[in-house]
Amino acid sequence: MSTGVTATTQKTVGGIRRKFAPWNDPAAVPLIRYQNVTKRFGDFVAIDNLNLDIYEREFFALLGPSGCGKTTLMRMLAGFEEPTSGQITLAGQDLVGTPPYKRQTNMMFQSYALFPHMSVWDNIAFGLKQDGMSKDAIAARVEEMLKLVKLEKFSKRKPHQMSGGQRQRVALARSLAKRPKVLLLDEPLGALDKKLREETQFELMDIQMELGMTFLIVTHDQEEAMTVADRIAVMNHGKLIQVDQPAVIYEQPNSRYVADFVGDVNIIEARIEATGSGTSTLRAEAAGDMPLTVHQEVASRPGDTVFIAIRPEKVRVDLDPPTEQGANCLPGTVWDIGYLGDLSIYHVELANGSRIKAAKPNLTRMVERPISWDDKVWVSWSADAGVLLTS
């Protein structure tokens, strides 16, 4: 991948990206609208009365475990499934009843679905030929696409004569060739190894910016969704649990489900002692008689059960009690250590037997870490590190 080009476009991309937020603009008209969409397969409810707006030029990710309905949601946009009830519109046009071959969406399939009996060139030209484009126009567009995915030299190859990464790019070129209003990507990078996947994620973002297109990606890989997407919809059991920008999803999850699905998290069950003026005080069994503080107000009343979610990287572990004021601080014993190279994850057992995870970057090359198994330690986190969740 030519890193030179990528680096220069990256700057402008960043600039545009930072300002891009049509979902906050009440005047913006969504490109794709799902309105009260329900899809049943027999008794199974795949999509449950769902509403979702996606805007033009957005890179939107559907994230969730397998069977959560994310693929069905995408396939309904492509036309491979019809909603049982509800409406799907694309650029103001009602799509229900329109067959897939008349929709202005194109899809990149998880298996790539490259036609094995056609060359790379013919695969990319396939969609253009269906539109009855002139020969010259087709040739020009195919060349352009081959250039875009850097496969100019491979146009005469058959799919089975190419590596997985190359096939993936042919599939991308083929689905982009018709300049669809929306490009649908169904687990597009699932078959690639980790390194290549990470490279390709950035490439996808560049292409999306360069062509100014709307991308809808389905993935179960949260890192992938966070990397590429402007907004992420976290799904479960056919419902949208949270739809927001990656940082919001990660830092302010709206439920234990989202907090747990996206990234690693400690969840502490607690009772509210007082809440108001931006701060809540809580009691938790895990904390013994130490009160816990979170800089967040909740609608619950004192005595109600809530959950504190804290990311491991926001938890500190020290051999001595921290001196920081206002921090939540609990004593414990190191139960286990997971060494990951860049980080070490400390599993600390608290007084009541529950465990809390703390991630500590390995800042030096020491092989013997200062904190070891069975050491008495202190875990601490600041009052704005945790999030209070009521569900």
Which is closer to other proteins, CB of 166 or CB of 344? 166
3-state secondary structure of 48: strand
Which is closer to other proteins, CB of 6 or CB of 166? 166
Which is closer to other proteins, CB of 82 or CB of 273? 82
List contacts with other proteins (CB under 8 A): 78-80, 82, 97, 99-103, 105-107, 109-111, 113, 115-117, 126-127, 130-131, 157-158, 160-166, 174-175, 178
Distance CA 294, CA 283 (A): 11
Six token digits for residue 263: 């990234």
Give the phi and the psi of residue 93 in degrees, each rounded to 5.
-95, 135
Six token digits for residue 383: 């009052």
Task: Find the shortest distance in angstroms from Cβ 136 to other proteins.
Answer: 19
Task: Find the shortest distance in angstroms from Cβ 157 to other proteins.
Answer: 8
What is the DSSP annotation of 346-357?
EEEEETTS-EEE
Task: Find the shortest distance in angstroms from Cβ 19 to other proteins.
Answer: 33
Helix (H), strand (E) at residue 128: helix 120-130
Which is closer to other proteins, CB of 44 or CB of 339? 44
Which is closer to other proteins, CB of 62 or CB of 78? 78
Task: Find the shortest distance in angstroms from Cβ 186 to other proteins.
Answer: 9
Angle between helices 194-211 and 164-176 (to 10 degrees): 20
Six token digits for residue 238: 């056919």
Task: Find the shortest distance in angstroms from Cβ 130 to other proteins.
Answer: 4
CB environment 341-369: b (16+ within 10 A), e (fewer): eeebbbbbbbeeebebbbbbeeeeeeeee
Which is closer to other proteins, CB of 131 or CB of 152? 131
- The residue type at 126: F
Task: Please state whether 187 falls in left (phi above 0), alpha (psi between -120 and 50) or beta.
Answer: left
CA-based max dimension of the chain: 78
Task: Find the shortest distance in angstroms from Cβ 263 to other proteins.
Answer: 31
State CA 128 to chain mean position distance. Answer: 32
Which is closer to other proteins, CB of 33 or CB of 103? 103
Task: Find the shortest distance in angstroms from Cβ 271 to other proteins.
Answer: 51
Query: Strands 305-310, 387-389: parallel, antiparallel or unpaired by DSSP?
Result: antiparallel
Task: Find the shortest distance in angstroms from Cβ 349 to other proteins.
Answer: 37
Q: List the beta bridge partners of residue 360.
A: 344
Which is closer to other proteins, CB of 161 or CB of 305? 161
Beta strands in the chain (DSSP E): 32-41, 44-54, 59-63, 85-90, 93-94, 105-108, 182-186, 214-219, 231-236, 239-244, 266-276, 279-283, 292-294, 305-310, 316-318, 328-339, 343-350, 355-361, 376-381, 387-389
Helix (H), strand (E) at residue 14: helix 3-19
Task: Find the shortest distance in angstroms from Cβ 112 to other proteins.
Answer: 8
Which is closer to other proteins, CB of 103 or CB of 360? 103
Q: How far is CA 386 from CA 3, 268, 328, 391, in A?
A: 38, 10, 10, 15
Question: Residue holding tokens 């050491």?
Answer: 375
Which is closer to other proteins, CB of 139 or CB of 162? 162
Task: Find the shortest distance in angstroms from Cβ 98 to other proteins.
Answer: 9
Reference 234, options 214, 219, 251; nearest CA is 219
